[in-house]
Amino acid sequence: MSLLEVKDLRTYFYTYAGVVKAVDGVSFTVDRGEVLGIVGESGSGKSVTARSIMRLVDAPGKIVGGEILFDGVNLLALSEKEMNAYRGKRIAMVFQDPMTSLNPTLTVGFHMMELLKRDPSLKTKKERWEKAVKLLQDVGIPEPEKRLTQYPYQFSGGMRQRVMIALAIALNPDLLIMDEPTTALDVTVQAQIMELVKRIQEEYHMAVIFITHDLGVIAGFADRVMVMYAGKKVEEADVFTIFDDPLHPYTSALLSAVPKLDMDRSQRLYAIPGSPPNMISPPPGCAFHPRCPYAMRICAMKQPLLAEIDGREVYCWKVIKEMGVVEGV
Amino acid sequence: MGRFIIRRIALMLVALWVVVTVTFFLAHMIPGGPFDREKPVPEAIKKNLEEKYHLNEPLWKQYILYLNDILHGDLGPSFKYPDRTVNDIISESFPVSAELGFWAVLIATVVGIWLGSLSALHQGGMIDSVSMFFAILFISLPSFVIAPIFQYIFGVKMHILPVANWGTWKHLIMPALSLALGPTAVIARLTRASMLEVLNNDYVKAAKARGIPGLRVLIVYALKNALIPVVTYLFPLIAAIFTGSFVVEKIFNIPGLGRYYVTSIYNRDYTVILGVTVFYAAFLILMNLLADITYALLDPRIRYE
Amino acid sequence: MNNAINMEELKDKKLWEPIPPEEKLGAEVLTAPQVTFWGDVWRRFRKNRLAVLGLVLLVIILLFAIVGPFVSPYPYDKQDYDAILMPPNIQHPFGTDYVGRDLFTRVMYGARISLAVGFLAAMVQLVIGVLYGGISGFMGGKVDEIMMRIVDILYAVPILLIVILLMVVLGPGLVNIFLALGFFYWLGMARIVRSQILTLKEEEFVLAARVLGASTKRLLLRHLIPNAMGPVIVTVTLNIPNAIFTEAFLSYIGLGVSAPMASLGSLASDGVEYIRTAPWLMLFPALTIALIALAFNFVGDGLRDSLDPRLRR
């Protein structure tokens, strides 16, 4: 049984300007120890998906449909108190901006100790403290004993993110969700954090959902990749296939847009034409069709059906056409 | 932290010195006073005055002497009633003002924080809209407007509270409320805005994501940080209430320092004016200092500025 | 949108042809209609009911104060010993005072004076504050540090006490009051202006303009100042009722304008002793002060919300 099974998740935002279908029928699974990368533009629904799993969707957002099965239990059917028992302990999350994720008036030690109280194997304060020190060491923070007594403003961005990671793994969760954890950091720090995350994932054998818009980061870390657009999944495959042989036009476009080292300097950078969809009234049919070079009439009329090929999933009329499954087409 | 406090104290001492100096020189400019060299004064009285106030000395020397007196805590005798010293007057009437002020501050703080938090937690709801409307209303009504209205309604018309004077707890209600209403409104709005801002902060969401129970997040993460600006406002609030008490004491005929101050202005009782001003100034400056220190204690980021 | 798919439908060959550009829907993502900065501020202001109420109230009060006295049949200082201490009636809507003067007219004049004081004081504060804060913020460095140190010290000084003393020294009088108020309460304004300038100096569009070769003066006039105006305007609006209160307060303790001219504060102060016999003498001026303050506060608050970029839309 998979660790996490998301079935037809729908999360809508009821704003005064209209209903935003941020996540509109998304399904995927994550197995134990597996790394799933979720890729997409801003507004594609990746963050909202992550928050829905944690049931941390704020008003005016609401999870309106679907199931989220974690180790067989439907998280959406739990009470708030029951759900809280999962948070931090079995599913943990690391957010994008480390500069604001820590309470500025509390020491880092306080943050850690408070969390470690929920670890039944640590019975005394001394044990908790030692564990806190070890965790900081694990994430690569020098002088951990001193650091625990310090306040967040005394840490740099990269350091703070390490602290957030330490907090996330403190209770040894089965699933770690990381929502663009390196976007707010410098490139060199990004690399360091990614090394750290990779090492931790291997050591603790955690399942990870890694959300980003940066394909390069995904390439070095994920086992499988799910591409989202306008609140829906458009393609899902293992990481090698996605990069070697993308089927969905959006995925290809994303890959083309990444500048490469061996490009000719006179080549223009590729940018996907058009602009991201209006989420209050998205285009009819396939939401990507206004920007798609292969758009057909049907793309403007109906949303594509799921096509499963060689263990991958694609939602695209062009792919369906090329599969030759429709008579006479 | 220590360095921070020392710097603030230094600042305050300079401010105090500025006040004393300005006050001193202004007092010497008051027309028609004993310091006014132009007004003719009977010989005998003149001799007395000159002795007491060192009037025959050059101005700068009088200033030094005055500073010296102040440092020793001696504010001199009342000009109008020479057998009473300013120190006496202050020690008699200040406790009355202090009692009144204490109740006003208490009401303002407790009710203000409570209403403000409630409004923030139920943002957009009934409580929020109603509270905030009344908040703006009461901010616009200064205490000297509210006081007579209260007097009229509860004292003259309804006869349930004494219109003026001092003595029993009944005499406390209207003046304390008049002083407290404005500040209550300010605190309520401040608390509300602060809470809303804090509740939206990432670290609150991150804490929830770690599975920390909602109530604890509210108190340890939200409330504690949200109250920082409120607690620091407390001290200027105390200052504001004391200034407000000038008029309220006059209206309700309460024998506090404020009323004495006002009367002394009417009477042009120079030494009292001088002395009380210095006393008030010292008190207010002390409040500001305490506010800064409290803020630094509560928010570690400030200490290192 | 009906996404039900009928397998038969799919066989229509036309569906599978490339879409001509005209039929691509959603390609033009319409953004919100273009509005100017101030147009947007006004739009948001209009939506705020309290703010609009405040504005209406303000207009009424201004009419009352400015036009009123010309229309009134009584001059404000006409004493009529046959009509002493009369409660409100048709001839005297606010009643009369202890020498028979019509209170309605006096309140109108009082409002004029209070508004004038408030407005003028706020203007003086504005000018001094903008100059001081502007120079300090713009020059930066040592100059800024020193200027702000001075402000810090002055901030710690209880200004009201000094103003009281100053009024005792200068004596009562309209000009004295608004000079005293204006010259002493500009600190807050200076700080706000300075912080605006500092923020804007760092803003990227300043850098962009500089790159395009804009001169310092041009920078100041066309870029920095218009954008810094927002909080400044809000502060001015909220300073006016503060000045009026302070003036009323001073009048209350006998340091305000001199008789027979009266501000709302001195009217209220005079009326206090008659609270039992003729409460209207105190109530009407007090309520007028309250209404003025209310109006300005509503408008100021509304402006603040309308100008706050975070609350866009």
The alpha carbon dihedral of A198, A199, A200, A205 has a sign of positive
> Per-residue pLDDT averaged across A47-64, rounded?
90
DSSP structure class, residue B223:
I
Nearest beta carbon to residue C290 from set B145, B163, B265: B145
Determine which of A295-304, B102-111, B283-292 has the lowest per-residue pLDDT on average.
Answer: B283-292
Q: Which residue has the higher pLDDT, B270 or A174?
A: A174
A204, A117 in Cβ contact below 8 A? no
Task: Please indicate whether, in this complex, the C-beta atoms of B30 and C169 are within 8 angstroms of each other.
Answer: yes
Is the whole-model pTM more than 0.90?
A: no
Whether residue C207 is predicted with pLDDT greater than 70 in this model: the reply is no
Asked if residue C248 has pLDDT above 60, the reply is: yes
Q: Which residue has the higher pLDDT, A241 or C199?
A: A241
Q: Which of residues 65-94 of C touch B (CB under 8 A)?
A: none
Residue C296 has pLDDT above 70, yes or no: yes
Please answer whether residues B223 and B117 qualify as being in contact, where contact means their C-beta atoms are separated by less than 8 angstroms.
yes
- Looking at residue A22, the DSSP 8-state letter turns out to be E
Set of chain C residues whose Cβ sits within 8 Å of the Cβ of A303: 3
Q: What is the ipTM of this complex?
A: 0.82
The pLDDT value given to residue C27: 45
Q: Which residue of C has its CA nearest to A285?
A: C3
Q: Do B26 and C287 touch (CB under 8 A)?
A: no
Element (H, E) at A147: helix A144-148
Question: Residue C209: in which H helix or E strand, if any?
Answer: helix C204-211
Task: Identify which of A151, A58, A47 has the alpha carbon closest to the alpha carbon of residue A95.
Answer: A47
Chain A residues near residue B210 by CB distance under 8 angstroms: 87-88, 92, 115, 167-168
Q: Does A13 score more than 60 pLDDT?
A: yes
Give SS3 for A90: coil
- What tens digit of pLDDT does each residue of C88-108 get? 777 778 888 887 788 888 888
Per-residue pLDDT tens for B136-167?
A: 778 877 787 788 778 777 877 777 777 677 77
Q: Regarding beta strands A232-238 and A306-309, do their DSSP bridges make them parallel or antiparallel, or are they unpaired? A: unpaired
Mean pLDDT of the A192-198 span: 90
b/e burial code for range A272-311 (CB count within 10 A of at least 16 → b): bebebbbbeebbbbbbbbbbbebbbbbbbbbbbeebeeee
Q: Which residues of B141-175 are buried (b: 16+ CB within 10 A; e: fewer)?
A: bbbbbbbbbbbbebbeeeeebbbeebeeeebbbbb
Q: What is the pLDDT of residue A38?
A: 94
Question: Looking at A100-104, A311-315, B123-127, which range is the least confident one?
Answer: B123-127
For B277, the closest chain C residue by CA position comes to C161
Q: Residue B44 above 70 pLDDT?
A: no
Q: DSSP string covering B136-170, please?
A: HHHHTS-HHHHHHHHIIIIIIIS-SS-SS--SSHH
Joined together, the tokens standing for residue B209 give 């994501």
Contact (CB<8Å) B202/A100? yes
The predicted-structure confidence for B217-242, as pLDDT tens digits, reads as follows: 888 888 888 888 888 778 778 877 88
Q: Residue A277 and residue C29: Cβ atoms within 8 Å?
A: yes
- Those residues whose C-beta lies under 8 Å from the C-beta of residue C226, and which sit 6 or more positions away, are C37
Q: What is the pLDDT of residues C25-70, one digit of tens each?
A: 544 444 555 556 667 677 777 777 778 888 898 898 888 888 877 7
Q: Is A95 exposed, middle or buried (0-12, 13-18, 19+ CB in 10 A)?
A: buried
pLDDT above 70: percentage of residues in chain B: 83
* pLDDT value at residue A210: 94
Q: Please tell me the predicted confidence (pLDDT) of residue B42.
A: 59
Closest chain B C-alpha to C303 CA, distance in angstroms = 14
Percent of chain A with pLDDT over 90: 49
Average pLDDT of chain C is 77
Indicate if the pLDDT at residue B34 is higher than 90: no
pLDDT band for C222, please (50, 70, 90 cuts): low
B305 pLDDT exceeds 50? no
What is the reported pLDDT for C313?
A: 39
Q: Is the pLDDT of residue B47 over 70?
A: no
What distance, in Å, lies between the first and last C-alpha atoms of chain B? 10
Per-residue model confidence as pLDDT tens digits over B82-137: 667 777 878 888 888 888 888 999 999 999 998 888 888 887 778 888 888 888 77
Confidence grade of residue B77 (pLDDT, cut at 50, 70, 90):
low
Among candidates B202, B205, B225 on the partner chain, residue whose Cβ is nearest the Cβ of A105:
B225
Query: Average pLDDT of A271-281?
Result: 82
Q: How many CB pairs under 8 A join A and B?
A: 65
Tell me how close the Cα of C15 comes to any Cα of chain B, in angstroms. Answer: 47
